[in-house]
Amino acid sequence: MSHVTTHVLDTARGHPAAGIPVRLDARDDDWSTIATAATDDDGRVRDLGPESLPAGVYRLVFDTESYLGGDCFLPEVTVAFRITDPTAHYHVPVLLSPFSYSTYRGS
């Protein structure tokens, strides 16, 4: 399993959001892409990047426009987070609706 995983739940429709492209970036002096994937039929990305990452600042970028449509309010959702324990697993889910989103550190 990847060090970082995610899933997207469509709270307006009441089901997982499948097919959303997701990018994992690392921050050094600037952002660099580590991995890309898309949510599966269960709205999950289980294989996103390496099995371990060093401590640092990362972000997940969700291309929500591809899921919500071209005239959506939220064409992209970016969630930046810090890895402090390189041995721990980091699960970063997103609860998505047409006009809002929320996130948390999952398990």
Tell me what pLDDT residue 58 has.
98
Q: What CA dihedral angle connects 21, 22, 28 and 30, to 10 degrees? A: 30
Question: Within 13 Å, how many C-alpha atoms sit on residue 22's CB side?
Answer: 29
pLDDT tens by residue, 55-78 = 999 999 999 999 999 999 999 999
Instruction: Provide the residue ranges of all domains of the chain, joining segments of one domain with +.
Output: 4-103
Q: Is the pLDDT of residue 22 over 80?
A: yes
- Beta carbons of 78 and 95 less than 8 angstroms apart: no
101 is in an annotated binding site: no
- The CA-based angle 88-83-39, given to 5 degrees, is 80
Tell me what pLDDT residue 30 has.
96
pLDDT tens by residue, 28-42 = 999 999 999 999 999
104 is in an annotated binding site: yes
The CATH fold of domain 4-103: Immunoglobulin-like (2.60.40)
pLDDT tens by residue, 81-95 = 999 999 999 999 999
Give dist(CA 34, CA 6) in Å, integer: 15
44 is in an annotated binding site: yes
Report if pTM > 0.85.
Answer: yes
